[in-house]
Structure 1
Amino acid sequence: MFPQDAARNAARYLGIADRLLPGKITGFYVVGSVALGAWRPKRSDIDFVAFVHGDLDDRQLRRLRALHVLGNAATVGRSLLRADSSLPGTMNGTFVSMADVQEPVTKIHALASHSGWTFTRGGGFDVNPVSWKLLQQGGIALRGPDPADLRLDPEPERLRAWNLEQLKVHWKNWAERLLSGNAPRKPLVPAHRLAVSRVLGPPRLHHTLVTGDLISKESAAEYALDTFGQRWLPLVRAALAQREGEPFPVSPQPRELVRMAGEFTLEVVASAEDHPMPG
């Protein structure tokens, strides 16, 4: 089911895109938390993959950058009023040439992407085996054929290795920063809240690595406790409270939450490294 607020934001964004780049966007698919049935009003962003006709020249890329601003202006305005730099409701997406739609996903080079405050030319993280699997299985088509008819190649044989690499490099480095006292920060977001907001990412990857299936952050919370033990309950409870917009627990203290997030993530990474490759 497509939540009404998310559908309204997506339709407005696509309408602005058509005015700036008439005739260019031939396929538009909502993925992420919406596709997983886990989207939360005022808490979640809206992820998409857009397929465009042909390439994008410099003028069109400039218009795409303008789309990033104009298409998210209302969301950014509301976030600034609430002093919320996470920009819930923002349209975050990747633009790919329709000519590449049937290529193996690791061979596809995105034309552009934007996420949060950032616009990127010539790249897009969400062109990867996990995102393509979700697009193929659960993507919501606002324009274009059903995802099952796109003949996508998410390279399922690479799924485990891709998840493991993300855990060993990106998430391990993130955990080590948390434990070093150099925790990542964002404007208006204390370090412990940023750490807590991201801590369900590693168990999601671990679950996919072990089972091959994709899950939401809420399901990752349950999986984390089932797999790694109830000692992480205070951390998981804080992560869910923040995701649901509920009052933040008074315990553990902020520094303790940052430490726990780092230690938990390293435990997830170590478990993933020890998990045997499928036969």
Structure 2
Amino acid sequence: MLPPRARDVVDRYTRRIDRESPGLLQGLYLVGSVALHDFHDEVSDVDFIAVAENPDPAVLRKVHEGLEKFDGLYVTFEDLRTSPSKLPNGYYRLEGELKVGDEGRSPVEWTVLANHGVTIRGPRPQELQVHVDPDELREWVRGNANTYWRQFVDDPYDLIFDAGIAWGVLGISRLHYSMVTGDVTSKTGAGRHALRAFPKHRAIIEEALRHRTSPVVKPEHPDLERQAAAVAYLEAAIASCC
């Protein structure tokens, strides 16, 4: 059973794309928080992987118009059987815009699809022969930890926000989970993993879990001790990933 908001946006999307370009959509799979059983109606996106051969960008823009918090990428079945590192750029939708690039074409999405994906249309993930390589996932984790997540250590401004604490602490925890297990978990699952893996940082991890669904609101009086605790945890987790 899909969460009601996810079901609504998926139904609207499939009706539109079937009307605008019959036969284009060969497969549709939900990944992200829906697939990982951590969907929160107020804040979660509905993340998708759509299988379509040579989609017309004008059609995609029309189909996606007004579908909020519905982000994902367009691939072929052959793409899914291939290492994402070897794929050319393709269409993806992020924050309401259709773009071309490599966003979403990573071992994370392929692993979630293969191990946890929710089938809306097309063969089940187990039948797709999705390219999954735990070592490739770990290599991607090392690079991402040292680039994207390192910025929160170098410039911790976002960690004054409740939502920033959740994003930073639980985000790097997801990478550590993947490094240890070769799989992918949700933000909440990552927090629970981190409580076991980093007991010295229990207080800031529990704080992040409490703010899993917090909106981005600038505090009147930033808690600099909490910010410092988050930075210390990020440094420890990044080091452990690398």
Which of 64, 87, 93 is matched with 2:60 structurally?
A: 64
- Matches for 1:109-124 after TM superposition, within 5 Å: 109-121=88-100, 123-124=101-102
In structure 2, the residue matched to 1:196 is 165
Query: Residues 101 and 151 of structure 1 are in contact (CA less than 8 Å); yes or no, is this contact kept in structure 2?
Result: yes
- Matches for 1:165-180 after TM superposition, within 5 Å: 165-178=143-156
Q: 1:113: Cα distance to partner?
A: 0.8
Aligned partners of 2:138 and 2:45: how far apart in 1? 26
Which of 119, 126, 136 is matched with 2:104 structurally?
A: 126
Cα deviation digits, residues 26-75 of structure 1 (max 9, x gap): 1100011111111122221111100102x23xxx2133233333322xxx
Aligned partners of 2:231 and 2:18: how far apart in 1? 43
Gaps of 5+ in 1: 73-89, 185-189, 274-279
Aligned partners of 1:30 and 1:231: how far apart in 2? 33
Q: 1:244: Cα distance to partner?
A: 4.1
Q: 1:225: Cα distance to partner?
A: 2.2
Report the CA distance shift for 1:143/1:271 in structure 2 as closer, same or farther (over 3 A).
same
> Which letter does structure 1 place at the counterpart of 2:166?
S
Report the CA distance shift for 1:237/1:101 in structure 2 as closer, same or farther (over 3 A).
closer
Q: 1:106: Cα distance to partner?
A: 1.9
Cα deviation digits, residues 143-199 of structure 1 (max 9, x gap): 101111111112333111111111111111232111xxxx35xxxxx9523422312
Which of 132, 148, 171 is matched with 1:154 structurally?
A: 132
Which of 222, 231, 235 is matched with 2:192 structurally?
A: 222
Q: 1:18: Cα distance to partner?
A: 2.7
Aligned positions, number: 238
The reply on whether 1:260 has 2:239 as its aligned counterpart is no
The reply on whether 1:269 has 2:241 as its aligned counterpart is no
Cα deviation digits, residues 208-248 of structure 1 (max 9, x gap): 10121322111211222222224441x333322332459x9
Q: 1:268: Cα distance to partner?
A: 0.6
Gaps of 5+ in 2: none
Q: CA RMSD in A?
A: 2.5
Q: Which TM-score applies when normalising by structure 1?
A: 0.76
Aligned partners of 1:214 and 1:100: how far apart in 2? 20
- Matches for 1:230-249 after TM superposition, within 5 Å: 230-233=200-203, 235-244=204-213
> Which letter does structure 1 place at the counterpart of 2:83?
P
Report the CA distance shift for 1:242/1:127 in structure 2 as closer, same or farther (over 3 A).
same
Aligned-residue identity in percent:
28
Q: 1:205: Cα distance to partner?
A: 0.6
Q: 1:257: Cα distance to partner?
A: 3.6
Q: Partner of 2:152: helix, strand, or coil? A: helix
Query: Residues 162 and 214 of structure 2 are in contact (CA less than 8 Å); yes or no, is this contact kept in structure 1?
Result: no
